[in-house]
Amino acid sequence: MRSLSRSLRGALALLVAALAAPAAAQAPDAGSAFAPSGRLRVGVLMLSYFAIEEVAGQLKGVVPDLAAELGRRLGVPIELVKVANPADVIEGFRKGELDATFIGITADRAAVFDFGPVVLDLQTTYLVPAGSAIKSIDEIDRAGVRVLVPARSAQEAHLKKSITQATLISVGVENPKPAVEKLAAGEADAFSHVVPMLVSAQRMLPGAHILPGSYFNVPIAIGYAKDRAPAVADAAKQFAEDVKASGFLRESLARAGESVKGVVVHQ
């Protein structure tokens, strides 16, 4: 009986293993899980601190670097998809047109696609016009101060929670020109954005200056489509850790130069 019992147990164990084997074989690897179409479609927000389009139409910058490295590690070709603003990134994932991106974390974005670990921080402060009495970040939140802030951005979400006296005025996120025009016309007192964008805006407004410091570091993380296999989340986590620890991100930022002033590797 004991011998028969051992035989039955052995047979059952073999049956369980045989049934489990096909399921394991069908589990997708990280490459096919990340890019089921065979190409890794990476949304690239066309802001100077993320990417710059060269004359030949090629994209260069931190996000194209990250996309190329992610594709290399996954063993799949990449397709860089130019995106004008964060709202279009959300729409791209909603329509199933994107597999990954690198962008600031906000609640509305997280509702449509998932985020992995943070890889970069974007320092945020204010630009004030020439002759402004405002000299520091602490002087912004006062009655009567009108602050321009990019709509649906991570910093807008932060300021809506932290500003109690100043008035917030939403402007477009992708182009600083309308904000500069409002400052020049006296329709606002300060413009809030990430430092690289404020550097561009400062060039358009003679005498304007950027307030020192950072009131909020926008967390930039790897984003990927929802409802993908667990291998995607695991690969995203490992990738984020590796590009920070290896020096890959520091080298990419060094190549980008002044266009990424105020962008730092997340610690």
Looking at the structure, tell me whether residues 53 and 96 fall in a common domain: yes
111's CB contacts (< 8 A; 6+ apart) are none
- The reply to whether 54 falls in a domain is yes
As given in the structure block, the two tokens for residue 16 are 């369980």
Looking at the structure, tell me whether residues 65 and 99 fall in a common domain: yes
Looking at the structure, tell me whether residues 205 and 188 fall in a common domain: yes
**What pLDDT digit, counting tens, does each position of 53-108 carry?**
876 778 999 999 999 999 999 999 999 999 998 899 999 999 999 999 999 999 99
pLDDT value for 9: 55
Local structure of 143: helix, strand or coil: coil
Report the C-alpha gap between 219 and 241 in whole angstroms.
Answer: 15
Q: Which of 216, 231, 254 is the last residue of a domain?
A: 216
Looking at the structure, tell me whether residues 199 and 223 fall in a common domain: no
Report the C-alpha gap between 235 and 249 in whole angstroms.
Answer: 17
- The reply to whether 234 falls in a domain is yes
- The reply to whether 48 falls in a domain is yes
As given in the structure block, the two tokens for residue 253 are 């930022």
Please report which confidence band the pLDDT of residue 16 belongs to, taking 50, 70 and 90 as the band edges.
very low
The full DSSP string for 32-96 is HHH-TTSSEEEEEE-STTT-EE-TTS-EESHHHHHHHHHHHHHT--EEEEEESSHHHHHHHHHTT
Note whether 225 and 231 are within 8 A (CB). no
Looking at the structure, tell me whether residues 130 and 255 fall in a common domain: no
pLDDT value for 26: 37
Looking at the structure, tell me whether residues 115 and 62 fall in a common domain: yes
- The reply to whether 221 falls in a domain is yes
Strand pairing class (209-210; 263-265): unpaired
Looking at the structure, tell me whether residues 197 and 226 fall in a common domain: no
- The reply to whether 3 falls in a domain is no
- The reply to whether 23 falls in a domain is no
User: What phi-psi label fits residue 75: left (phi over 0), alpha (psi between -120 and 50 degrees) or beta?
Assistant: left
Note whether 73 and 94 are within 8 A (CB). no
Nearest to 70 by CA among 230, 250, 260, 222: 222
Asked whether the whole model's pTM tops 0.75, one would answer yes
Looking at the structure, tell me whether residues 256 and 137 fall in a common domain: no
Q: What is the CATH number of the domain that holds 148?
A: 3.40.190.10
Task: Write out the residue range of the structural domain in which residue 194 sits.
Answer: 124-216
Report the C-alpha gap between 163 and 49 in whole angstroms.
Answer: 26
Q: Kindly state the average pLDDT of the residues 1-26.
A: 46
**240 or 2, greater pLDDT:** 240
Look over the chain and give the mean of its residue pLDDT values, rounded to a whole number: 89
**What pLDDT digit, counting tens, does each position of 167-189 carry?**
999 998 778 899 999 999 999 99
pLDDT value for 28: 58
- The reply to whether 16 falls in a domain is no
**What pLDDT digit, counting tens, does each position of 99-151 carry?**
999 999 999 999 999 999 999 999 999 999 999 999 999 999 999 999 999 98
Asked if pLDDT for residue 228 goes beyond 80, the answer is yes
- The reply to whether 57 falls in a domain is yes
Split into its structural domains, the chain has a count of 2
Please report which confidence band the pLDDT of residue 264 belongs to, taking 50, 70 and 90 as the band edges.
very high
Number of residues that this document lists for the chain: 267
Report the C-alpha gap between 90 and 94 in whole angstroms.
Answer: 6
Q: Which of 193, 216, 239 is the last residue of a domain?
A: 216
Looking at the structure, tell me whether residues 69 and 187 fall in a common domain: no
CA distances to 46, 165, 216, 260 from 145, in Å: 30, 8, 19, 28
Looking at the structure, tell me whether residues 181 and 201 fall in a common domain: yes
Looking at the structure, tell me whether residues 241 and 253 fall in a common domain: yes
Looking at the structure, tell me whether residues 83 and 54 fall in a common domain: yes
